[in-house]
């Protein structure tokens, strides 16, 4: 069991407020604006957030403004299974402004029959936007699913220049 102390903060953006959870290892969860509607009181912390969180907050705001960013922040993805972590690594190779299918991801991780499991791993992605699960669509070109809702998925892809 992971006993690392975790903290969180709210990052206001043009897309809405994101809740970011982190540990000393890195960012462990990014919650979409739709999941942050429970009062949005900033958490009480004894110390200011670490530098990597302040940099991430700035990049997240830039991203929401439609500007390209490089997500060079430490991540704590230790809660994921080996399969999920393989999927998440593959997702990080999908370039901004491009999409790939669930089948492509399954091929990329060496499990070509695992498209459905890839979809489940995308849904379990704890750090969306940084690990761009929104760039994964169905093989027929339809948008597929998304934990933040399809309107937000379309908006994120639009921000990145993907046209449907």
List the catalytic residues. 133
Q: What are phi and psi of 96, to 5 degrees?
A: -55, 140
- C-alpha closest to that of 150 among 140, 139, 137: 137
Contacts by residues 7-13 (CB-CB < 8 Å, ≥ 24 positions apart): 7/43, 7/45, 7/49, 8/43, 9/42, 9/43, 9/45, 9/49, 9/53, 9/57, 10/36, 10/40, 10/42, 10/43, 11/56, 11/57, 11/60, 11/61, 12/61, 13/60, 13/61, 13/63, 13/64, 13/65
């Amino acid at each position: 069991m992971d006993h690392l102390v975790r903290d969180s903060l709210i990052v206001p953006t043009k897309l809405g407020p994101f809740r970011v959870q982190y540990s000393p290892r890195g960012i462990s969860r990014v919650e979409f604006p739709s999941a942050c509607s429970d009062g949005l009181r900033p958490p009480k912390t004894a110390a200011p957030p670490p530098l990597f969180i302040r940099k991430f907050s700035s990049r997240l705001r830039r991203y929401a403004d439609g500007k390209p960013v490089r997500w060079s922040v430490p991540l704590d993805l230790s809660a994921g299974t080996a399969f999920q972590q393989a999927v998440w690594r593959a997702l990080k190779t999908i370039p901004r402004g491009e999409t790939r299918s669930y089948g492509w991801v399954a091929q990329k991780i060496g499990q070509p029959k695992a498209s459905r499991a890839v979809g489940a791993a995308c849904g379990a992605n704890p750090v969306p936007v940084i690990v761009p699960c929104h760039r994964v669509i169905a093989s027929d070109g339809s948008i597929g699913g998304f934990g933040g809702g399809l309107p937000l998925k379309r908006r994120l892809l639009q921000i990145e220049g993907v046209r449907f």
